[in-house]
Amino acid sequence: MDTTVYVPSGPTPGTPPPTGGVASSARGLTKVYGQGAAAVRALDGVDVDFAAGAFTAIMGPSGSGKSTLMHLLAGLDQATSGEAVLGTTRLSTLDDGALTRLRRDRVGFVFQSFNLLPMFTAEANILLPLELAGARPDAAWLDTLVDTLGLRQRLTHRPSELSGGQQQRVAIARALIAKPDVVFADEPTGNLDSRSGAEVLSFLRRSVRELGRTVIMVTHDPTAAAYADRVVLLADGRIAGDIADPTPDAVLAGLDALRTLETTSEPAVTA
Ligand SMILES: Nc1ncnc2c1ncn2[C@@H]1O[C@H](COP(=O)(O)OP(=O)(O)OP(=O)(O)O)[C@@H](O)[C@H]1O
Ligand SMILES: [Mg+2]
């Protein structure tokens, strides 16, 4: 097994946030849940940059802080210390109103559980973010998404009339409709069979390669991660590896190296 793919990653701590070509970044990003003896250090000084126009996968053991990292980067939750930066916007400088607008206008989300509104058609679900923002749909962009995602014949269907894979494609179109700076996807294939999962992953990749979007995806599946341009590994709330142009084998080797690390490191629980 080629272990040279496993290298420590991330910018030098203290490096100022970047100004160009980076869609999302973290500097010293730390999140502690709870207090006192029950405190959990879910993220511990994470420094990482995610390139614009790239598809990045985040992997790591359960509880390693993947969802927490995405939530902080997307402005869904606040850091305990350190900084989450979207483009050049430091999220800690924003008040509640500005954060709400940032989440609405500059960030898209795809969740494992689809989160579609059951009474709405596929088309209405896709257009919902624009509806909420009072913005008009860009008809050409809607067409591009619908065709790229193979949803043309499904636009008038309600979620209950769609397969899991189709529902997740609707959720992806909804995440992309407002052309957000970054789409965050947390285990988007976790509830899908392998064929639907492969469809969703190739659509995510196409949205990056052909539509110029930026996607950051959490996954547990090395095959899914291999669709990405890069895999960032997390362990115990810290960046633990970085793999460029991942293959499933390279990802497995990186995860194996993590397991070795884990057996020699402290648990991520702090007093
Ligand atoms: N709201 C919360 N309150 C308290 N602890 C939390 C909260 N959310 C997460 N944690 C803890 O923070 C740590 C990181 O959780 P997180 O959900 O980020 O992990 P994850 O890598 O996404 O795991 P999984 O692969 O299981 O989804 C875990 O120890 C978790 O128990
Ligand atoms: Mg998670």
Question: Which residues have a Cβ under 8 Å from the Cβ of 256 and sit 6 or more positions away?
Answer: 1
Nearest-CA residue for ligand 1 atom 11 is: 42
207 falls within a domain: yes
Assess whether the C-beta atom of 207 lies below 6 angstroms from ligand 1. Answer: no
Residue pair 165/176 in contact by the 8 Å Cβ criterion? no
182 falls within a domain: yes
Q: Assign 62 a pLDDT band (cuts: 50, 70, 90).
A: very high
Distance 219 CA to ligand 2 centre (A): 9
113 falls within a domain: yes
Nearest-CA residue for ligand 1 atom 30 is: 63
pLDDT digit string, tens, across residues 78-107: 999 999 999 999 999 999 999 999 998 899
pLDDT digit string, tens, across residues 107-125: 999 988 889 999 999 999 9
Q: Which atom of ligand 1 is nearest to the CA of 268?
A: 29
Alpha-carbon torsion, ordered 16, 212, 203, 112, to 10 deg: 30
pLDDT score, position 270 = 42
Residue pair 18/25 in contact by the 8 Å Cβ criterion? yes
Mean pLDDT score of the chain: 89
pLDDT digit string, tens, across residues 112-166: 888 999 999 999 999 999 998 899 999 999 999 998 888 999 999 999 999 999 9
Q: How many CB atoms lie within 10 A of CB 77?
A: 15
Nearest-CA residue for ligand 1 atom 4 is: 33
Which tokens hold the place of 31?
Answer: 């999140």
Assess whether the C-beta atom of 66 lies below 6 angstroms from ligand 1. Answer: yes
14 falls within a domain: no
pLDDT score, position 213 = 92
Q: Which atom of ligand 1 is nearest to the CA of 31?
A: 12
Distance 140 CA to ligand 2 centre (A): 34
11 falls within a domain: no
Assess whether the C-beta atom of 219 lies below 6 angstroms from ligand 1. Answer: no
- Asked whether the whole model's pTM tops 0.85, one would answer yes
What CATH number corresponds to the domain at position 162?
Answer: 3.40.50.300
119 falls within a domain: yes
Residue pair 216/187 in contact by the 8 Å Cβ criterion? no
> Sheet of 40-51: strands edge to edge?
40-51, 22-33, 81-86, 89-90
12 falls within a domain: no
* Containing structural domain, residue 242: 22-264
Distance 42 CA to ligand 1 centre (A): 6
pLDDT score, position 13 = 52
In single-letter form, the type of residue at position 11 comes to P
Is 5's pLDDT higher than 50?
no
pLDDT score, position 268 = 45
37 falls within a domain: yes
pLDDT score, position 41 = 97
Mean pLDDT of 14-25: 68
Distance 161 CA to ligand 1 centre (A): 33
Alpha-carbon torsion, ordered 43, 46, 51, 54, to 10 deg: -40
Residue pair 246/225 in contact by the 8 Å Cβ criterion? yes
Assess whether the C-beta atom of 67 lies below 6 angstroms from ligand 1. Answer: yes
Distance 238 CA to ligand 1 centre (A): 13
Q: How many CB atoms lie within 10 A of CB 19?
A: 8
Number of domains making up the chain: 1
